[in-house]
Amino acid sequence: MAEILPGVHQVEGVDPSPDFSTHVYLLKDKGASWTLVDTGLPGTHPATLAYLAKIKVEPTAVKKILLTHLHRDHTGSLRALAEKTRARTFAHWVEAAYIANDPKYDGPGTPPAEPFTVDETLKDGDSVDAAGGLVAYHTPGHTPGHVAYYQVERKLLFSGDLFFGEGAGVALTPPDFTQHSPTAQISARRMSQLSVESLLTYHGGPVLQRGGQAIRALVERLR
Ligand SMILES: [Zn+2]
């Protein structure tokens, strides 16, 4: 079982290869419901459903799916999981347009596999009633409408592709996959001001302890 922190699961079996980890997070809400953060590559939904079955959670107990950004490795199984769970889906308002393929995303990284219209659009600072309360932070750079989700009480930061796990610390996601690295650097600087214990990266990592220190070390290196 991959419950990496109390109520925070890293879904098993969604990695495309041993060298390329993709961390789909499943969060226990207060009460009986659950929340997914990102959805994995196309075709990985059976692994997520198998994981839910393994921990004895009905798919329909997943009430929300939160997206960090448009890239295919995050949105690939969105439609399949939204259908199986009937969860409400959330993304930043800029990203929501790209996920709907209206207009088509022409930046680096792989665009969504198919258009999808999310149920709710977020803006910077919005609260989401999930996992005991999350705040959506607009953290552009990797993509225009990238968001990170912060759990204030427990100091958890689900950072999508703003950061890349690298050894015991983090780096910015490489420029080849990023729309505008200087903007990502500014977003990293902003996140370095939060009090973060666990930094839940999507690729590599996560950094479960002293995540804020890892962010600050990166910000210092980038100066
Ligand atoms: Zn990405």
Chain Cα centroid distance, residue 191: 15
State in Å: Cα 108 to ligand 1 middle: 9
DSSP for residue 120: E
State in Å: Cα 196 to ligand 1 middle: 21
The Cα 130–Cα 64 span in angstroms is 8
Half-sphere CA count of 209, side-chain side, radius 13 A: 0
Calculate the alpha carbon distances from 4 to 1, 80, 93, 159 in Å: 9, 25, 30, 16
The Cα 197–Cα 164 span in angstroms is 16
Query: What residue has token string 């290869």?
Result: 17
State in Å: Cα 142 to ligand 1 middle: 7
State in Å: Cα 161 to ligand 1 middle: 5
Model pLDDT, residue 20: 82
State in Å: Cα 163 to ligand 1 middle: 10
Query: Residues of the chain whose pLDDT is less than 50?
Result: none
217 in Cβ contact with 210 (< 8 Å): no
State in Å: Cα 113 to ligand 1 middle: 13
State in Å: Cα 74 to ligand 1 middle: 7
| pTM reported for the whole predicted model | 0.97
State in Å: Cα 31 to ligand 1 middle: 31
Model pLDDT, residue 18: 78
State in Å: Cα 112 to ligand 1 middle: 11
* Domains of the chain and CATH, by start: 3-222 (3.60.15.10)
Per-residue HEC secondary structure of 136-184 comes to: EEECCCCCCCCEEEEECCCCEEEEECCEEEECCEEEECCHHHCCCHHHH
Model pLDDT, residue 207: 97
State in Å: Cα 218 to ligand 1 middle: 19
State in Å: Cα 32 to ligand 1 middle: 30
Model pLDDT, residue 144: 98
Calculate the alpha carbon distances from 216 to 55, 86, 92, 194, 222 in Å: 35, 39, 25, 10, 10
- Among residues 56, 78, 11, 64, which one has the least CA distance to residue 34? 64
State in Å: Cα 171 to ligand 1 middle: 14
Model pLDDT, residue 62: 98
State in Å: Cα 177 to ligand 1 middle: 7
State in Å: Cα 109 to ligand 1 middle: 6
Q: Tell me the pLDDT tens digit for each residue of 146-178.
A: 999 999 999 999 999 999 999 899 999 999 999
State in Å: Cα 24 to ligand 1 middle: 13
Model pLDDT, residue 1: 58
